[in-house]
Amino acid sequence: MSWKEIYQEWKKYEAMDELVAESLLKMEKNENELKDAFYAPLEFGTAGMRGVIGAGINRMNIYTVRQATEGLAMFIENLGMEEKRRGVAIAYDSRHQSPEFAMGAAETLASHGITSYVFESLRPTPELSFAVRHFNCIAGIMITASHNPAEYNGFKVYGEDGGQMPPQDADAVTKFVRSIKNPLAIDFKVQEEAGDLINIIGEEVDSAYLEEIKSVSVDHELIKRSGKDLKMIFTPLHGTGKMLGERALKQAGFESFKLVPEQAIADPNFSTVKSPNPEEHSAFEYAIKLGEKENADLLVATDPDADRLGAAVRMPDGSYQVLTGNQLGSIMVYYLLKAQKDHGTLSDDAVVLKSIVSSELPTAICEKFDTKMVNVLTGFKFIAEKIKEYEQDHSQSFVFGFEESYGYLVQPFVRDKDAIQALLLLAEIAAFYKEKDQTLYDAIEAIYEEFGYFAEKTISVTMSGVEGVEKIQQLMKDVRSNIPTSFADVKVDFYEDYQTQTRTYLSGKEETIELPTANVLKFFLEDGSWIAIRPSGTEPKIKFYLGVKGSSHAETAKKVSDFEQAVSQFTK
User: Which positions are catalytic?
Assistant: 146
The SS3 of residue 97 is: coil
The SS3 of residue 534 is: strand
Q: Which of 369, 287, 294, 291 is nearest to 334 (CA)?
A: 369
- CA diameter of the chain: 70
Q: Which of 88, 84, 83 is nearest to 68 (CA)?
A: 88
Q: Computed over its alpha carbons, how large is the radius of gyration of the chain?
A: 24
Q: Which of 96, 95, 27, 20 is nearest to 54 (CA)?
A: 20
Looking at residue 191, its amino acid is Q
- 315 vs 120: CA distance, rounded Å: 42
- Phi and psi at 70, nearest 5°, equal -60, -40
- 395 vs 414: CA distance, rounded Å: 20
- 325 vs 340: CA distance, rounded Å: 22
Contact between residue 546 and residue 567 where contact means Cβ atoms under 8 Å apart: yes
* Residues 63, 64, 68: CA angle, nearest 5 degrees: 120
From the CB of residue 185, how many other CB atoms can be counted at a distance below 10 Å? 12
- 358 vs 315: CA distance, rounded Å: 24
- 475 vs 535: CA distance, rounded Å: 10
- 489 vs 163: CA distance, rounded Å: 42
- 165 vs 139: CA distance, rounded Å: 8
Long-range contacts, 384-390 (Cβ 8 Å, 24+): 384/161, 384/162, 384/163, 384/164, 384/415, 384/416, 385/163, 385/166, 386/351, 386/353, 387/163, 387/353, 387/412, 387/415, 388/161, 388/163, 388/415, 390/351
Report the C-alpha dihedral over residues 243, 245, 250, 251, rounded to 10 degrees.
90
- 414 vs 393: CA distance, rounded Å: 19
DSSP state of 570: G
